[in-house]
Structure 1
Amino acid sequence: MKKKLSTVLMATAMLSGVLAGCGGGGGGAQSSSGTGSTPAPAPAASTPAPAASTTPAPAAGSGGKVTVNFWHSLGGKNGEYIDAMIKRFNESQSKVQVVGTFQGSYDEMVTKLQQAVAAKSGPDVAMLERAYIQMFADSDVLEDMTPFLKKSNMSADDFTQGLMGHSVFNKKLVSLPFNRSTPILHINKTMLDEKGLAIPKTWDDLKKVANALVVKEGNEYKRYGLTMPYDTWYPIAMIYEAKGKFFNDAGTSVGYTTEAAKTFQFLKDMQNTGALYYPPAQDSGNIANTMFTSGKVGMMFQSTGTIGSLVDNAKFDYVTAFMPMDQVYATPTGGANVSLMSGSKNKDAAWEFMSWAMTDPKGGLQFVLDSGYLPFTKKMVESQQIKDQWAKQPARKVAYDQLQYATDSNKHVAWTQVNQEFLKAIQAIMYDNKDVNATLDTFKKETERIMKQ
């Protein structure tokens, strides 16, 4: 593998200790990919699992079947859903046996995959958080799936708009969306209605509504207006809403001037009045969710992947809305894609499984219905099953509708290292009350240093 990949992935291994335990940053287990820090149902596991072996199963399965190894980062309830999908595939035909193996959080998955590829013991199919795909693509270890799509009478146009931004690198289609999510505004509408407040559509609305929800007794806040997990996902979304970019188009520095400072000053102003509760870094996703479902906060920035569990646990009128806009609406996407590894000796068999998951109603569609992730093909969106679910749970359709404002916010091979520095900046500003501009200036310098490597 190229030295570039090894260097970046060394940083990934270090970064896995920065956050405890979503996913995906975005993200069960906690990742730092800038996709939201979320408990199950989120992209990774909320419960520990045994360490997975990096040794592949033999190519010939029982009964002469070809064995396909599929590595993923889904634990908890989502792990059960993916296992059930694999079982349905194995029972649907007699030629291929898929073995699914949980490899830990997204960060852990990346580190194990690097080691396995170097040892030529990698899987046939790998689930990769979309921000990590580029570094594997640059090292030529992901197969171009365009010919396989053609054989199956499919094309990249069959997939959901807004979820394909991390699929094509070096003119090769190296990943396809699977368990994908976005940040969204979760709302206790009962609480807003009691105050006669409308659902906020802009930052100004958000600040007014959040402050109006605050309940303070003496020096103690009994209720806050807004919360969000400790993660890079949400500030990045707000930078785009202010018409900035996280990286510039040249890939040499940050892509904003004043938009990041505007974002953090907005958050600090709300934090200072109790309008924003910014939870401790450790287990921040679970803390934010509990604050929301227990009525201690009225609104929450959180992953769409939590909608299912919030529907189950909320004892009030629970709704969702787009992330409020400043200058524009914008939402970074998160979650993972699936890739066919170029080192696989069973590519045709692996593709049989992947194409089934993309097209068979018992495959990815049922997984999406079970888990709450976004429907990732146009046929899924048009299916009666999805329409029925959206009618029953409108919050899920809001999440899909927001994809029209999707952005590719962290598309750079240096993302992992830069993300670590951005987390430090968030800590300095939100926890340590450091000067916003000075902190962001330091972050910019570090970003430029990293991107020059």
Structure 2
Amino acid sequence: MKRIISIALLSALILIMIAGCSSNDAKQSSTTEPPSSVASATPAAEPEKDNGTPNPASFSGEISFMTPWPHLQAQLEEVVKAFNKTYPNVKVNLAFGGEADLTNLVTNGIAPELFLTGTPLSNINFINDGIYADLTPYLAKDPDLSDKFPDTNKALDTYDQKMYGLPFDTMTLFPIYYNKKILDQYGYTEFPELKTLGDIDAFFKKFWIVKDGNQEMTGQLPHIIYNSMTAFTTFAYANGADDKTFWNAETKTVNFSDPKVVEALEWMVRFKRENIDDARMQKMNASFPEGTDAFINDKQAMGLLLPASAKYYLSKNPDLQLGVASMPEDALYISGQSVMLVGPSKNKDLGWEFMKWLTSTEEGTTSFAQNLGFIPALKDNSYVASLTDPLEKQAVELSSKAKKVQFIIPVDISAEFDKLFGDVMAGKMEPKAFLDHMTQYTQNLINEAK
């Protein structure tokens, strides 16, 4: 059965852009391990220096870089080739897996030097147990390095005022891509400015049209934006919440029950109940040609999407007239993936060299941006400046408006959240009861982890 929205159609593509952003994805198992030679790798005893700067060619040894992207192995190999133009004597082995795999490798004494994740601080045990290395001694040797990243991105890697990773990419979740032809049909010559949750409600529901008992037109489903946590965060933020609403890092306390959050979730439930009928949606989706969806068939006025999704739609229907608009600025927040230095690995100093090159140099960020399609977190990087596609440029420019960051609580609550969020949207559990439960459930995990 086709899913209600285009998420299923885009799942493989979106995985490329946001594979690390779901903690469920990050914890999927993989049998791929770093080569055993990683354990015996050794750096050069003392790198030669050129004008006080270590000569990259004098570094030698072997490291392993672990990501959740086996489907991107060929692209990652191109990034490694670019690295070896500067560091010709450092061999980088690729490994693939999530947090569970990293734990197994650490336990067996064959930890990779570097691990890429979209949820860098969602497991406090990785910090307490030293699986993620404290970068303080490394940053002390490169005092200007942290200034190369925006504060919003650095906040995603900071716990107790210490950085445990370097920002890899940046994204604002999510621009609104809209079909200009459909908006024109409904009397809109331009996309209106949205400032509040009330504005979102009034505008979004105009495009949920039923004719003769059948779904005629759709818009964005508020309860599904990539996943339930992303949707929940987006509208809670639109209603005035921010990362500190949910998590106070100083007192180590959790709060999902703030009135702004309760009101936002109640709105999400009400919007679905009043506008979205699952059976009608299933019937409409079943009427489309195989491999297509409402957006491709001019039956969806707008959606909160990633730039790659918009490109995919245009590849399927070049006649789409797409525009880009912004959610209320309160709803814009920065997320992204990070590269973590693994504490128990054998060759951390070499790992640090690759980590710096990948995230904070023009060579490194341009290489992964061109090969993988991610927008670098590095300030003023040339890749962003070189973008020519107007839709992509507009989407990237929205990032400069985002003043909030994705909230990260240092325990994994994804399974409990997703299970009960579904009950809330189905009317089986009241929003306030759910949020009170998540507050207590999460606080218990935090207390147990201390």
Q: TM-score with structure 1 length normalisation?
A: 0.75
CA distance 1:135–1:290, shift in 2 (3 Å): farther
1:301 and 2:299 are equivalent in the alignment = no
**How much has 1:331 moved relative to structure 2?**
3.4
Deviation per CA, 1:374-423, whole angstroms, max 9, x where unpaired? 3211141xx2x42230x423444434533543434433322x13x33222
Distance in 2 (CA, whole Å) between partners of 1:200 and 1:276 is 28
Task: Write the mapping of 1:152-231 to structure 2, written as runs, cut at 5 A.
Answer: 154-190=144-180, 191-197=182-188, 198-202=191-195, 203-227=197-221, 228-231=225-228
**How much has 1:97 moved relative to structure 2?**
0.8
SS of aligned partner of 1:365 = helix
> What is the aligned-residue identity percentage?
17
Specify the alignment match of 1:111 in structure 2.
100
Specify the alignment match of 2:233 in structure 1.
236
Give the paired residue count: 397
Distance in 2 (CA, whole Å) between partners of 1:405 and 1:297 is 26
**How much has 1:200 moved relative to structure 2?**
4.7
Specify the alignment match of 1:318 in structure 2.
322
CA distance 1:251–1:364, shift in 2 (3 Å): same
Residue identity in the other structure for 2:410: V
Task: Write the mapping of 1:257-296 to structure 2, written as runs, cut at 5 A.
Answer: 257-274=258-275, 290-296=293-299
CA distance 1:127–1:400, shift in 2 (3 Å): farther
CA distance 1:386–1:335, shift in 2 (3 Å): closer
Residue identity in the other structure for 2:431: V
Specify the alignment match of 1:8 in structure 2.
none
Deviation per CA, 1:153-212, whole angstroms, max 9, x where unpaired? 742111133211122334432200113333113322312233233245133332233222
Residue identity in the other structure for 1:386: V
Higher-RCO chain (CA-CA 8 Å, sequence separation at least 6): 2
SS of aligned partner of 2:301 = strand
**How much has 1:125 moved relative to structure 2?**
1.0
Distance in 2 (CA, whole Å) between partners of 1:199 and 1:128 is 36
8 Å CA contact 1:142, 1:342 repeated in 2: yes
CA distance 1:178–1:50, shift in 2 (3 Å): same
- 40, 47, 54: which is aligned to 2:16? 40
8 Å CA contact 1:322, 1:399 repeated in 2: no
**How much has 1:121 moved relative to structure 2?**
1.3
Give 1 or 2 for the bigger CA radius of gyration: 2
Question: Relative to structure 2, which stretch is displaced further, 121-130 or 78-87?
Answer: 78-87
8 Å CA contact 1:86, 1:100 repeated in 2: no
Distance in 1 (CA, whole Å) between partners of 2:166 and 2:404 is 17
Deviation per CA, 1:345-396, whole angstroms, max 9, x where unpaired? 222322222222234434222322444423211141xx2x42230x423444
**How much has 1:149 moved relative to structure 2?**
4.3
Specify the alignment match of 1:34 in structure 2.
none
Specify the alignment match of 1:3 in structure 2.
none
Distance in 2 (CA, whole Å) between partners of 1:85 and 1:405 is 29
8 Å CA contact 1:428, 1:439 repeated in 2: no
Specify the alignment match of 1:9 in structure 2.
none
8 Å CA contact 2:153, 2:405 repeated in 1: no
Distance in 2 (CA, whole Å) between partners of 1:49 and 1:119 is 16
Specify the alignment match of 1:99 in structure 2.
93
Residue identity in the other structure for 2:270: D
SS of aligned partner of 2:16 = coil
Q: TM-score with structure 2 length normalisation?
A: 0.76
Specify the alignment match of 2:54 in structure 1.
none
